[in-house]
């Protein structure tokens, strides 16, 4: 999986950004949403955020 794949086009959040949030202590989709802003506009990427979390 490429680290610069965009997960949330609304906010321009890439896998790398989600990894950084996890490194900083995010554990759940809600944590990642709060830390990065991903998923907070249209919500279409929320399932993908969950998938990325499972794969990390």
Nearer to ligand FES, 3 or 44 (CB): 44
CB 36, min distance to ligand FES, A: 10
Nearer to ligand FES, 3 or 42 (CB): 42
CB under 8 Å to 20, separation ≥6 — which residues?
Answer: none
Alpha carbon distance 23, 42 (integer Å): 25
Nearer to ligand FES, 9 or 28 (CB): 9
Alpha carbon distance 4, 31 (integer Å): 20
CB 27, min distance to ligand FES, A: 19
């Amino acid at each position: 999986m490429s680290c610069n794949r965009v997960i949330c086009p609304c906010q321009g959040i890439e896998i790398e950004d989600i990894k950084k949030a996890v490194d900083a202590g995010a554990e759940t989709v809600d944590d990642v949403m709060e830390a990065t802003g991903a998923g907070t506009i249209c919500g279409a990427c929320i399932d993908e955020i969950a998938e990325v979390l499972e794969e990390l």
